[in-house]
Amino acid sequence: MQQDDTRTALQLRSLVKSNGDLEVSVVQVPVPTPAANEVLVRVEAAPINPSDLGLLFAGADMTKASQRGTKDQPVVTARVPEAALKSMAARFDVSMPIGNEGAGVVAEAGASAAAQALLGKTVAALGGAMYSQYRCVPVEQCLALPAGATPAEGASSFVNPLTALGMVETMRNEGHTALVHTAAASNLGRMLNRVCIKDGIALVNIVRNGAQGDLLRALGAAHICDSSSPGFMQELTEALAASGATIAFDAIGGGKLASQILTCMEAALLRKATQYSRYGSPIHKQVYVYGGLGLGPIELNRNYGMAWGVGGWLVTPFLQKLGAAGMQRLKERVASELKTTFASSYAGELSFVEALDLTTIAVYGKIATGKKYLINPNKGVKASRP
């Protein structure tokens, strides 16, 4: 992409200084001219995913944040705790753009046929800096939305859909036939529930209260276990025995939940065992931790034999292993089921100025199940054509 410094547009930025000061601001940045294989997207909807929040606020305590700057270009400041700061040396004093994904209208296109074909179309994009009025991305990172779909409907076409599909593919690739998901009432969890119902895969949904269980029940979920229930371990063991699930994807991380899942998987497997082995069931039991909702260490009590694993899981390395053809197959499925399987719901749509309002931050900065917000970088901004 080329840059023409005479035209600029707004972009959200996050900066961590080596002294631990966090600065979130709206800045004017040059608007690039797309290269042959690129398109310039006027972004109208970009979700605030948990992964975006981590980068945006860098673990700072936002309840003690303060605001300065101007009404149109506010600056929010806060302090990053020492413990979190240690792993951030590589981003010190680098003003970073944010926003993994979003959707909008292609305002300009490069010379290639593939780029030209998208001109004027509404597309979703996996861009890495989607909290921008205009974002220039290669055609491969775009997904043309089906006719009639709005940017808001297509804003979450990548992270959650590819994560849900990635979990199911990982399950299959590693030889399992059913799976467990924690924080199952989240946007992602409800999407995974729809994928599994459509594909006929048994899914054990672990929720954290009865209301979340009711929500999933209304959505047709067959196996629901409430981790706040006194009978949780027994109920989980029953659901695992019924479903045969031996792999779990855990959004929580901290605490005993991963270990409890492995314990119940082993108990379900040992029901079918006919011979004693001091090493436990030889069937491999796996928990992948893909989020960090729970702080504190993971505690593993190891009463599930020797055939077990716990590890981190991210969709990006999974997609890299999958390759271009596999990625294309997943993207096509997302497009064709955008308004059904892969539909997302949002609690509201924020302009840049609203997103930097301290009261609003207190709402969306808390990762609460089912309360996801969209940023619309062009909301409340004088209509501009770069």
* Shorter beta-carbon distance to a second copy: residue 186 or 259: 259
Is residue 301 a contact point for a second copy (CB under 8 A)?
yes
* Shorter beta-carbon distance to a second copy: residue 84 or 197: 84
Instruction: Enumerate residues 6+ apart whose C-beta is below 8 A from 359.
Output: none
Is residue 147 a contact point for a second copy (CB under 8 A)?
no
**Residue of the chain from 26, 124, 289, 353 that contacts a second copy (CB under 8 A):** 289
Residue 42 near residue 98 (C-beta atoms within 8 A):
no
**Residue of the chain from 88, 197, 219, 343 that contacts a second copy (CB under 8 A):** 88
**Residue of the chain from 120, 230, 311, 383 that contacts a second copy (CB under 8 A):** 311
Is residue 151 a contact point for a second copy (CB under 8 A)?
no
CB burial readout 100-131, b (16+ within 10 A) else e: bbbbbbbbbbbeeebbeebeeebbbbbbebbb
CB burial readout 134-149, b (16+ within 10 A) else e: bbbbbbebbbbbeeeb
* Shorter beta-carbon distance to a second copy: residue 90 or 218: 90
Is residue 306 a contact point for a second copy (CB under 8 A)?
yes
Is residue 362 a contact point for a second copy (CB under 8 A)?
no
Between CA 221 and CA 223 the distance in angstroms is 6
- Tell the smallest beta-carbon distance from residue 356 to a second copy (Å): 20
Between CA 372 and CA 195 the distance in angstroms is 20
Is residue 234 a contact point for a second copy (CB under 8 A)?
no
In this structure, the number of other CB atoms found within 10 A of the CB of residue 43 comes to 28
Between CA 239 and CA 48 the distance in angstroms is 33
Alpha helices in 45-186 (DSSP H): 50-57, 82-85, 113-116, 151-154, 159-173
Helix/strand/coil (H, E, C) string of 331-376? HHHHHHCCCCCCCCCCCEEECHHHHCCHHHHHHHCCCCCCCCEEEC
**Residue of the chain from 6, 279, 340, 383 that contacts a second copy (CB under 8 A):** 279
Residue 267 phi/psi, 5° resolution? -60, -40
**First vs last C-alpha separation in the chain:** 15
* Shorter beta-carbon distance to a second copy: residue 87 or 340: 87
Write out the binding residues for a second copy, residues 16-45 only, by CB under 8 A.
none
Site string (243-262) toward a second copy, x via CB under 8 A: ----------xx----x---
Residue 9 near residue 28 (C-beta atoms within 8 A):
yes
- Which one of 105-113, 314-322, 352-360, 377-385 is the stretch in contact with a second copy (CB under 8 A)? 314-322
- Tell the smallest beta-carbon distance from residue 280 to a second copy (Å): 7
Is residue 81 a contact point for a second copy (CB under 8 A)?
no
Residue 39 near residue 124 (C-beta atoms within 8 A):
no
Is residue 82 a contact point for a second copy (CB under 8 A)?
no
- Which one of 40-48, 84-92, 191-199, 244-252 is the stretch in contact with a second copy (CB under 8 A)? 84-92
- Tell the smallest beta-carbon distance from residue 337 to a second copy (Å): 28
Total number of residues that touch a second copy (CB under 8 A): 46
* Footprint of a second copy (CB under 8 A): 51, 54-55, 86-91, 94, 96, 253-254, 259, 270, 273-280, 282, 289-290, 292, 297-303, 305-314, 316-317
